[in-house]
Structure 1
Amino acid sequence: MKNILIASTLSLLLSSVAIAQTAAVSMDDQSQIPHAPKIATGEEYHQPPLDSEIPDNAYGDMIRKGQAIFVDTKREVPEYVGNGMNCVNCHMDQGKMANAAPLWGAYPMYPAYRSKNNKVNTYAERIQGCFEFSMNGTAPAADSEAMTALITYSYWLAKNAPTGVSLPGRGYPEVKQPEAGYSIERGEVVYKENCAVCHGDDGLGQMVGELYVFPPLWGKDSFNWGAGMHRINTAADFIKANMPLGKGETLTDQQAWDVAAFMNSHERPQDPRIIDGSVEKTRDKYHANDGVNLYGVEVNGKLLGQGI
């Protein structure tokens, strides 16, 4: 009887393990966070609280610290930043602007599965990824003061937003690839006419002192090959909605794709996930199915992705 009981218990344990393994496998098939829905006629985007509403206490101090880090990342937490970028470069108006990846749209969507690292990510892990890739830097610890401040600021901006609901204005509105595809050559023309005035003829941004007032779009101080913005489709989405600065939605879909391709046809810092120093291996694992990108592709006789 005792042996039968042990055998039954073992069978149940093995069944539980099998179920857990099955669940883990099925998790791999889950979709990433869906694109935000278009805003309905008469509907308003989520409105984050005003700065004047931040409370005058320890909680408010942490909100303000997070806001300062978000806007002036390089100056506030230089130990985590490896290039010339600030969080606000990709998440405009202090992370508040609809259709510019606002924090109020991101915070309520986590934890979430992301195929980028094939796991369920917490919001802290999502921010850590931004530092590692977009900032080409070092991820702050989940329990660090900088992380606490950024999460607190995000939570504050998401006040009254529903949890787990993809709100209109979250992320960047999707711009489908035009039938004509994209042209790096046409994109160079678009860049010279619309972008160079801020980002420079050489795309390396503009500085005042040691800090950038307009971020570099490629080169050693820009985002690295692992950042989401290296995808032409993601860059086109952002550009169409938000660029040129203050004149979003003025470029055509074709222009947005062309100039995104031109921007991402330049070399930038290496993907920190590089495998055995091989661009080819890294492309096969991380880039081959990651949107439309030029990592590991030869452009104008040069293999992109070797880093700078």
Structure 2
Amino acid sequence: MAAFETGLLGDGGDDTNRRETAAKQSDAAFQPPALGAIPDDENGAAIRRGMAIFLNTKTNAGDFVGNDLACVNCHLDAGRKPGSAPMWAAWVVYPKYRSKNGKINTMEDRLKGCFTYSMNGQGSPSGGPPPVGSDVYRDLEIYFRWLATGAPTGEKMKGAGYPKLKKTDIGYDPARGAKVFEQNCASCHGADGQGQRDINGRIVFPPLWGSGSYNWGAGMARVNTAAAFIKENMPLGQENRLTDQQAWDVAAFIDSHERPRDPRQTGSVEATAKAHHGGESYYGKTLNGRLLGTGTSGS
């Protein structure tokens, strides 16, 4: 028994070193496998298809995409970047309960929500997200599972989601945000917020409002979510350059513009706002004399 205890605990110095090493390791975000490690087999072929859907969603899953966005627009570096809702961190916590729909969600359920809201599936050729059991889900899921190779299951990992951003004392204001946008965002996303395309018409920088962007039901349509993403990840390549106040204000500016309607809206905007839009959303609010939430022509 004594020998067992010695082997388990070691002496004080060794135990201290182990704790310090473990602490240092826990401070570092998880590293997904390198792209060169994708296996050269049927699994690898599906992983590559999933990555292609993730990077160019409209090209590779266009029947279910009703706007000009791709998964990678909100989950940077092909879903690998910590602090940008990386997919290796999401994979290990599903299935789980989500208050948005009031039930246990599988990863397929979660992806269905992304296609419904962030990809504005109602405006797609199919008029909705991929059907249950679609190969689109299968390929995305095996890509996420591969990204999470070696990750602990059922744990919230460092770098998961978007870091929460505490509200400032003066709150947020779209008018202040317009100035932040002009100075820091318009060069990529355009003065009109409609993004930029390359010479072949492919989206380089995504639209942030209007018919080509996420709809009112998307998580990014909440000012707090957009502010957290912006603070941690924008301007691209200069993350954390904006102050907390600037991030809140520019998120308010972006999310105070009209966009495709919430697909849950079956009656009035007011009724849908009451049912689904508490918190930091401009949906159902009147701004500059206009009720927001009525949707765009591309809804």
Is the TM value for this pair above 0.5?
A: yes
| 2:272 counterpart letter in structure 1 | T
| 2:157 counterpart letter in structure 1 | L
Is 1:273 aligned to residue 264 of structure 2?
yes
Q: Secondary structure at the match of 1:113?
A: strand
Q: Deviations over 1:21-54 (max 9, x none)?
A: xxxxxxxxxxxxxxxxxx9797211110111111
User: 1:18 maps to what in 2?
Assistant: none
How large is the RMSD of aligned CA atoms in angstroms? Answer: 1.2
Q: Deviations over 1:93-120 (max 9, x none)?
A: 0000000010001011111111111111
Alignment of 1:243-282 (within 5 A): 243-276=234-267, 278-282=268-272
8 A Cα contact 1:225 1:268, kept in partner? yes
Q: Secondary structure at the match of 2:281?
A: coil
Q: Percent identity?
A: 52
Aligned with residue 211 of structure 2, among 209, 217, 220: 220
Gaps of 5+ in 1: 1-38
Aligned with residue 52 of structure 1, among 33, 36, 45: 36
Q: Distance in 1 between matches of 2:185 and 2:213?
A: 15
Runs of 4+ in 1 over 3 A off after TM superposition: 39-42
Cα deviation for residue 143 of structure 1 reads: 1.5
Is 1:115 aligned to residue 106 of structure 2?
no
Is 1:206 aligned to residue 190 of structure 2?
no
8 A Cα contact 1:84 1:211, kept in partner? no
Cα deviation for residue 141 of structure 1 reads: 2.4
| 1:292 counterpart letter in structure 2 | E
- Pair 1:284–1:190, CA change in 2 (3 A): same
User: 1:131 maps to what in 2?
Assistant: 115
Is 1:87 aligned to residue 78 of structure 2?
no
Task: Give the aligned length.
Answer: 267
Q: Distance in 2 between matches of 1:53 and 1:206?
A: 33
Q: Secondary structure at the match of 1:66?
A: helix
User: 1:148 maps to what in 2?
Assistant: 138
| 2:282 counterpart letter in structure 1 | L
Q: Distance in 1 between matches of 2:201 and 2:67?
A: 11
User: 1:4 maps to what in 2?
Assistant: none
Is 1:307 aligned to residue 295 of structure 2?
yes
Cα deviation for residue 275 of structure 1 reads: 2.7
8 A Cα contact 1:141 1:147, kept in partner? no
Moved more, 48-57 or 225-234: 48-57
Q: Distance in 1 between matches of 2:86 and 2:131?
A: 22
User: 1:293 maps to what in 2?
Assistant: 281
8 A Cα contact 2:27 2:158, kept in partner? no
| 1:170 counterpart letter in structure 2 | A
Q: Secondary structure at the match of 1:213?
A: strand
| 1:86 counterpart letter in structure 2 | A
| 1:263 counterpart letter in structure 2 | I
Moved more, 76-85 or 209-218: 209-218
Q: Distance in 1 between matches of 2:24 and 2:38?
A: 30
Q: Distance in 1 between matches of 2:206 and 2:49?
A: 22
Gaps of 5+ in 2: 1-22, 122-127
Q: Deviations over 1:133-188 (max 9, x none)?
A: 00001221232111100000000001111111000100010101111001111100
Is 1:238 aligned to residue 229 of structure 2?
yes
Q: Distance in 1 between matches of 2:24 and 2:172?
A: 30
Is 1:162 aligned to residue 152 of structure 2?
yes
Q: Distance in 2 between matches of 1:75 and 1:47?
A: 28
User: 2:4 maps to what in 1?
Assistant: none
8 A Cα contact 2:79 2:87, kept in partner? yes
